[in-house]
Structure 1
Amino acid sequence: MEDDIDGKLLCQYSDHPALLQAQQPFDRILSSPPISAKNDDAANKGNMDQADDLLLVSSGDKSTLSLAFSDGEYVVGEFLKGMEDANRFLPSDNSFIKGHQMNQMFIRSKRKHLEEEVGRTSKIMMTTTEVPEETGIHEMLDDMMTGGDEALIRDMEKLRTAMSNKEEKKKRRKGSSKVTRDMVDLSTLLIRCAQAVDRSNYLIGGELLNQIKQHASTTGDAMQRLAQCFSKGLQARLMGTGKQLRNLLIADRPSAMEFLKAYNLYMSACYFNKVAHIFSALTIAQVMKGKSRLHIVGYGIHGAFQWAGLIRWLAKREGGPPLGMKITTICCSHPESFPVQWIEEQGYRLSKYASELGLPFVFEVVTAEREKVCIQNLNVDADEVLVVSDLFNLSTLKDESIFFDSPNPRDTVLSNIKKMRPNVFIQSVLNCSNGSCFLSRFRQKLFYYSALFDMLDAIVPRESEPRSVLEQELLGRYVLNAIACEGIDLAQHPEKYRQWQSRNQRAGLRQLPLRPVVVNVLKDKVKKHHHKDLLLSEEGQWLLQGWKGRVLFAHSTWVVEDGSSE
């Protein structure tokens, strides 16, 4: 990281007459008596802003400490007196003070960086309040919804052809180039930087971050692209701007067209989400045999892409379509994260598609905290087949309550699902963990996203613009959030599938065995149309997906423990 030029000048010219004159107002603040509690809020705020700008500076053996606050009053005199006594015990070379000075210089640079980011956030929010509708967005949505599996397979074939042509060109150039590159272990550098950040060692952390940035790239190989994402998270954590950058990312989203192209690329290249969709559709087809009404309760907002294929199958199923289909979407009441327009758009498109196919269809939205939604909120009819579906959404629930006397949000949701007594609960989870501390979480995310980025590098050409949006904007947001934020600001709290298995069983749910016909259909599709290193296997009645042996996603089905299964 670049050093702050103001901090350098303060340390180098701390006894300059002009600087001493500028410090006089602050000296008066330090020597003033405590502020009366009767002062109005505006005066208190002004004084706190002034005090917040003070920086630790040193001249010889003398030092001045920035203000400390306690209950709205300045507590300075006794603290400074104690510092004078403590200085007698410090080494004569002032190494401790110099080290603390450097950290304080870094803290000041954090403040400057934070103000710049907040300013940028405001500008972005002002410019994105009204965005004109992009040309072709509706047509692309319709194509993605109605194209089905065949369209994704065609796109995968195009990617395979593009990669083959790239390999041919690479072979022709092989041997002609004599350019050598220094080999750098970016993974080790990232972990060492995270260790320095965790110890609040700003100097070493900044130096390592500079080395990482020199080799990171948005257009390089998988590790260079991943390092670009992780370096942003480490920088935000070093600068203490994680929460502000989270708000910035909410305001500075990719355009709708960029998102759809990146999402379509992800669906075509890796097949992870498509396997989840087919797994759900085939499971529902089984429980709908001989039934005439279906009600799907889905956690999350990405229903349009998930259920379009099921609507098409139900409308054309042998024996005629159902008498009715209803989808109830449960989403959080956070409009900045889940725009109402996006949910309404999905409902409109699904309804229109079902109407064109002659299938009676109802789309409803429950906007509330997921742990507060229960059977009474869902308008379930007695003759409906009830299916509860979670496509990676419960991983965003906190893994523990912020109140000691409140139940775990995940256990609460699972308990509510049990009370719904669905015909089947279909669960898809991210096979990752946040661990018990920052370093543990950092390593888990590094291993997890290394596999994803390596997969994209093997399947998608590096010059692909949608790939860059997918990596840096969509996946990169989760990386930045996981590294830069803590506590309630963390967006994801994933658990390994074995942990979910134990949690579900404690909640009174019973796991159903995988149906061999479903597993065989999916294995056949992956083997026939997708990369040989994509993993699709089964273990403990979980359908597992991953890359080169690393399990990234897992899918399973459940019923209430004392309920019957078909």
Structure 2
Amino acid sequence: MIPFDRFGNDVDNQEMGSFGKLPQLWQEDDTGNKSNATHGLSFSSEYHEIDQQQPLKAFHDLDALFLDTTPPFPRYEHQMQELANIESQYSELVRPHANPKRTKTSPDVVRYEVSGHKLSTDAVIRLGGEKFIQSCSSSINDISMPSHPYSSSFSVFSNQKAKDIELIQNLLLSAENVSQQQFERSSKLLNWCDTLSSSSGNPIQRLVHYFSKALREKIANETGRISFHGPGKEHVDYIEERTLSPNPTSVSVYQKLPFFQAGKFSGVQAVVDAVAGATKVHIIDLSIKQGVQCTILMQALASQPTCPIKHLKITAVGTNFKEKIEQTGHWLKSFAESINLSFSFNVAMVGDMLDFKEDLLELDTEEALAVFSSYGLWGMIGQQDRLESLMKVIKSINPRVMVVIEGAANLNSPNFVDRFIEALFFYGAFFDALEDCMDREDEDRSITESVYMGNGIWSIVATEGAERVIRNVHINVWRKFFARFGMKETELSMSSLYQANLVTGIFSCGNSCTFDMDGNCLIIGWKGSPIQCISAWKFSSG
């Protein structure tokens, strides 16, 4: 959901100024020839298995399509439910995702084994959820005091971890009170959360800090108080503009968080596989940003030992910031010259995606056509007509492949608390990764957490309806949507899977990245928590 892009290096993996090193998309065989890497890897297929054979339902509109896919959060009236009943409804909150590094060792405690035996943010959230369930099952007449006794099974944790678990517990209690319009109770819990959370503390403290701010904003919105934050769509546009411009924060985060690079390399390899053998290639990029995926693609195409490419054309599609996109194009032209690649760059700029038409793309029948979308669709999830119009145009041009990279989370539920829980896990994984890969005092980390993460959390938690601009959905929802346009999900090659694994290997924290297969879709996660999904699609001939 937060794409941080930066330029790659030349084909020899040399440094270009301050542009950081990126691994090659190829390897040399025993004869010294360059070829695509096809090492066999073992990928888990346990993540969210879906029966793709079941018939698709008819949807009245796109909003109905993007409904929640998680179990409902229970609604309490004036009395709590029995613990067993609550546990069954909250099972998704406390049940660990399938992951070889996680084992359940007792009925009461889930022990999460990660590198260094450090308790992950995901683990703390789940344990906090377990305490939340236990507290909700108790007969509490006044919850204004956030002290809830721990069972003996939680005594194994350090004092700090116990406080972190209780932070999550009381944050969840506050969210539940907001959903029941018990705003005074929620505010008292948030006062306690604010005392123990901090924008400069450990990952849980930082996570709770921003979720607490968002809950306060939601309370202000629903009680008619004056909003003190409210970035809205204007701030989202500001973030988009930042990602289009080279800046130290995006450079630093892209260089230090392995899953961003892993997703880019895997997705680009899927494009390379689809256009193999073509001498003229045309890429339609729906979210060009700083063009890092383009430099990776250029290196891969220019290094092909057979059937050398004669010309690469890239068309960037956009609705805003034309000058920024053109600057990216100028840099890409310089990069292409440095590796002796014949290259042209076009911009298909429209004021509204409804105006995007095939004749803007300057198509040539001799070109092998592909579409690349890295976080280019989520912004239209709440705009049914725009997204459908775009897909109709893509279907009409019939590319060899459409590669889609999106966030692997359902942040679009109309149910506030379901959306809150999903966002807590999703952003929790990011805060955990930032803790492991960047220093706490790192200014770029602080900017990332406050500007990108903080405002994403604000949009998901504090806003409703059209005002809620940050949205993501699971891959199974995209499958149902793409099926409307005759799109068939294709299998990623072993080369594509290998690229993701290869990239993470160059990072000191790369072993915390996890890879799962959901059907033909690659899910890249952090310590088992899904972060992004990479999928490839073709249009049926019928």
Q: Same fold (TM over 0.5)?
A: yes
Aligned to 1:344: 326
Report the CA distance shift for 1:556/1:305 in structure 2 as closer, same or farther (over 3 A). Answer: same
Query: Using the alignment, how far apart are the partners of 2:236 and 2:267 within structure 1?
Result: 30
* Distance in 2 separating the partners of 1:508 and 1:182: 51
Q: Which residue of 1 aligns with 2:369?
A: 386
Q: Describe the superposition over 1:302-324 as per-residue Cα deviations: whole angstroms up to 9, x where unpaired.
A: 15222112223333433575332
Matching residue within 379, 397, 400 for 1:420: 397
Query: By how many angstroms is 1:520 displaced?
Result: 2.9
Measure, in 1, the Cα distance between the counterparts of 2:160 and 2:309. 64
- Work out whether 1:497 is the aligned partner of 2:459: no
Q: Please, which of 432, 441, 444 is the counterpart of residue 409 of structure 2? A: 432
Looking at structure 2, the residues matched to 496 and 257 of structure 1 have their Cα atoms a distance apart, in angstroms, of 26
Partner residue in 1 for 2:206 = 225
Please state whether the residue corresponding to 2:317 is helix, strand or coil: strand
What's 2:155 paired with?
none
1:183 to 163, 183, 193: 163
Per the alignment, residue 245 of structure 1 pairs with: 231
Q: CA deviation at 1:468?
A: 1.5
Which residue does 2:188 correspond to in 1? Answer: 207
Task: Give 1:284's aligned residue.
Answer: 271
Per the TM alignment, residue 250 of structure 1 is displaced from its structure 2 partner at its CA by 5.8
Helix, strand or coil at the partner of 1:426: strand
Q: Unpaired segments of 5 or more residues in structure 2?
A: 1-14, 25-114, 119-157, 222-226
1:259–1:484: structure 2 CA closer, same or farther, 3 Å change rule? Answer: farther
Q: Deviations over 1:261-305 (max 9, x none)?
A: 332333233322212221232223223333121111111241522
Alignment-derived partner of residue 261 in structure 1: 248
What is aligned with 1:538?
A: 517
Alignment partner of 1:149 is 2:149: no
1:558 and 2:537 aligned? yes
Query: Could you say which residue in structure 2 is the equivalent of 1:47?
Result: none
Shift of 1:331: 1.8
C-alpha deviation, 1:422, in angstroms? 0.1
Displacement after TM superposition at 1:451 (Å): 1.6
Equivalent AA in structure 2 for residue 264 of structure 1: V
The within-5 A match list for 1:321-332 is 322-332=309-319
Q: Could you tell me how far apart the structure 2 residues matched to 1:243 and 1:476 are?
A: 11
Cα distance between partner residues in 1 of 2:497 and 2:162:
45
Residues 318 and 298 of structure 1, relative CA distance in 2, 3 Å threshold: same
**Distance in 1 between the 2:349 and 2:358 partners?**
14
Partner AA of 1:416 in structure 2: V
1:363 aligns with 2:363: no
AA aligned opposite 1:265: S
Deviations 1:527-566 (A, max 9, x none): 4644322111323111110022222211111111128xxx
What is the rounded CA distance, in whole Å, between the counterparts of 1:518 and 1:292 in structure 2?
21
The answer to whether the 8 A contact 1:391-1:427 is kept is: yes
Give CA-to-partner distance per residue, 1:240-272, whole Å, 9 cap, x none: 338843367469879899973332333233322
Q: 1:425 to 1:257 in 2, by over 3 A?
A: closer
Q: 1:551 to 1:323 in 2, by over 3 A?
A: same
* Contact residue 296 and residue 389 of structure 1 kept, 8 A: yes
Alignment: residue pair count = 388
Q: Does the 8 Å CA contact 1:270/1:534 hold for their aligned counterparts? A: no
Separation (CA, whole Å) in 2 of partners of 1:491 and 1:510: 28
* Structure 2 residue identity aligned to 1:353: F
Aligned-CA RMSD value: 3.2
Aligned CA distance change for structure 1 residues 278 and 422 (closer, same or farther; 3 Å): same
Deviation at 1:147, TM superposition (A): 4.0
> 2: CA distance between counterparts of 1:531 and 1:264?
18
> 1:30 corresponds to which residue?
none
1:122-141 equivalences in 2 (<5 Å): none
SS of residue paired to 1:366: strand
Instruction: Give the letter for the 1:504 counterpart.
Output: F
**Are the equivalent residues in 2 in contact too, given 1:258–1:466 (CA < 8 A)?**
no
The answer to whether residue 335 in structure 2 is matched with residue 353 in structure 1 is yes
Per-residue CA deviations over 1:79-124 (Å, capped at 9, x if unaligned) read xxxxxxxxxxxxxxxxxxxxxxxxxxxxxxxxxxxxxxxxxxxxxx
Equivalent position SS for 1:462? coil
Q: Report if aligned partners of 1:541, 1:556 keep a CA contact under 8 Å in 2.
A: yes
1:400 is displaced (CA, Å) by 6.0
- What percent of counterpart residues are identical? 21
Q: Which amino acid counterpart does residue 535 of structure 1 have in structure 2?
A: T
TM-score (ref. length: structure 2): 0.65
8 Å CA contact retained: 2:278, 2:307: no
Classify the secondary structure of the residue corresponding to 1:317: coil
8 Å CA contact 1:243–1:485 kept in 2: the answer is no
- Range 351-360 or range 224-233, more displaced: 351-360
Give the 3 Å change call, closer, same or farther, for CA 506–320 of structure 1 in structure 2. Answer: closer
Q: Determine which of 439, 444, 453 is the counterpart of 1:475.
A: 453
Shift of 1:144: 5.9
Kindly provide the CA deviation profile for residues 175-234 of structure 1, in whole angstroms up to 9, marking residues without a partner as x: xxx998972522222222223333444322322222221112121111111112212222
Letter in 1 for 2:515: L
The structure, 1 or 2, with the larger RCO (C-alpha pairs under 8 Å, 6+ apart) is: 2
Report the Cα offset of residue 389 of structure 1: 1.0
Q: How does 1:9-24 map to 2 (within 5 A)?
A: none
Q: Alpha carbons of 1:301 and 1:506: their partners in 2 closer, same or farther (altered >3 Å)?
A: same
Over 3 Å counting, the alpha-carbon distance change for 1:342 and 1:200 in structure 2 is farther
Q: 2:285 aligns with which of 281, 293, 298?
A: 298
Q: Does the residue aligned with 2:510 lie in a helix, a strand or coil?
A: coil
